Amino acid sequence: MYVLGIETSCDETAAAVVDADRRILSNIVLTQLEDHRPYGGVVPEVAARAHLKHLTPIVRKALAEAGLNLADIDGVAATAGPGLIGGVMVGTTAAKAMAFAAGKPFLAINHLEGHALTPRLTDDVAFPYLLLLVSGGHCQLLIVEGVGRYRRLGTTMDDAVGEAFDKVAKCLGLGYPGGPALERAAADGDPESYDLPRPLIGRAGCEFSFSGLKTAVRQIVDRQPPGPLTYSVVADLAASFQAAAADALADRTGNALAIARKYLAQQEKGLGLTALVVAGGVAANRTIRTRLAALAETDGLPFVAPPLALCTDNGAMIAWAGVERLRLGLVDGLDARARPRWPLDPDATPVAGAGVKA
């Protein structure tokens, strides 16, 4: 079974072919970094136009690298949300047209499900597992019980962690995209040089909050002498911020492990957690990975983090979610909508005051 997957929900135009034996036959990702750099962030209209321009050649390349024609494909999957609606419409419309032309099923994929199921593509992880999903738009802890079955334990009350990395990087003059630049600067700094707040740490539950931490960095920057920041201040602030963010993620994830175990023990099947998994763009951060790996080890659980290229947005994760859904017969009609918002767990109680993105 071969599935073609298309991802256009943010600033990557991506297409990939994956098969049911967990093989990635091709995975082409074109990032639009240069298109958005002058604006210091992703501009939705610019993104949608770039997707329109690049998607067809990228899909052709993905098929050619896989050595397949559209006729060989068993299903066409595309991100149908959540994300920037213009881009999502470009991707879903193209996928529906190809599915219709080839007479193959169309699969409308939730982008977050793509991230959530990636560890099954890379490491064949069995359900149920605890997932920390950390990206530019999301910061959530979920029990992944099965395809389409997610239980959200906590989310952010304000910024997503990737968003906080991006904003702090911008404030430190590290440019865009912020996360990787901040991690590089942090490598030259001392994580203990600034005593930054650790929001919510030590409290019950597993909600997140990053805006106070971001503001604390901004206030320190504002107190510096006029003129550009020295590199040592930038590096020290980057390292201190990264350490505080890692502490917050580890603390909340620790609570979530206990909550997840309790929840699963109450279920009919009484299954135990199989792994702690981290996914999404921020999972590329080595400090954060190391902290989470240590937490899992203390807990006696395997720790799974997909390879860096499969943590950030890509087509393989969408194709794989397509494989998972297709083999369960969960196909979609050509009238499936593009959705700017689409929570993985629609029953999750909204967090008070949360600017929840899903």
DSSP state of 347: T
Site for ligand KG4 in 79-138 (CB under 6 A): 135-137
With b for 16 or more beta-carbon neighbours within 10 A and e for fewer, the 99-129 pattern comes to beebebbbbbbbbbbbbbbbbbbbbebeebb
Residue 82 preceded by cis peptide, ω within 30: yes
* Contact partner at residue 282 from ligand KG4, Zn ion, none, CB < 5 to 8 Å by partner kind: ligand KG4
Q: Tell me the closest approach of the beta carbon of residue 180 to ligand KG4, in angstroms.
A: 4
Partner touching 191 among ligand KG4, Zn ion, none, CB below 5 to 8 Å by kind: none
Nearest-approach distance from CB 151 to ligand KG4, in angstroms = 21
* Near ligand KG4 in 177-236, by CB under 6 A: 177-180, 183
CA distance linking residue 58 with residue 238, whole number of Å: 36
Residue nearest to ligand KG4 (CB): 281
Rounded CA-CA distance 258/242 in Å is: 25
User: Is position 313 an interface residue for Zn ion (rule: CB under 5 A)?
Assistant: yes
Q: How far is the CB of 75 from Zn ion (least distance, A)?
A: 21
For ligand KG4, give the closer residue by CB, 251 or 313.
Answer: 313
**Nearest CB to Zn ion, comparing residues 24 and 264:** 24
Q: Which conformational region is residue 2 in: left (phi greater than 0), alpha (psi within -120 to 50 degrees), or beta?
A: beta
Measure CA of the first residue to CA of the last residue in the chain; give whole Å: 30
Please choose, out of 146-154, 214-222, 268-276, 281-289, the segment that lies near ligand KG4 by the rule CB under 6 A: 281-289
Residue 217 DSSP symbol: H
> Could you tell me the smallest distance in angstroms from the CB atom of residue 317 to Zn ion?
8
Q: Which of 79, 92, 122, 135 binds Zn ion (CB under 5 A)?
A: 135
Q: Which residues contact 223 (CB under 8 A, 6 or more apart)?
A: none
**Choice from 159, 236, 313, 324 touching ligand KG4 (CB under 6 A):** 313
Report, in Å, the least distance between residue 328 CB and ligand KG4.
Answer: 25
Q: Is 10 in the site for ligand KG4 (CB under 6 A)?
A: yes
Q: Name which of 189 and 280 has its Cβ closer to Zn ion.
A: 280
What length is written for the chain? Answer: 358
Which residues partner with 184 through β-bridges? none
Closest CA to 179 of 188, 168, 166: 166
Applying CB under 6 A, which residues contact ligand KG4?
10, 135-137, 162-163, 165-166, 177-180, 183, 280-282, 284-285, 312-313
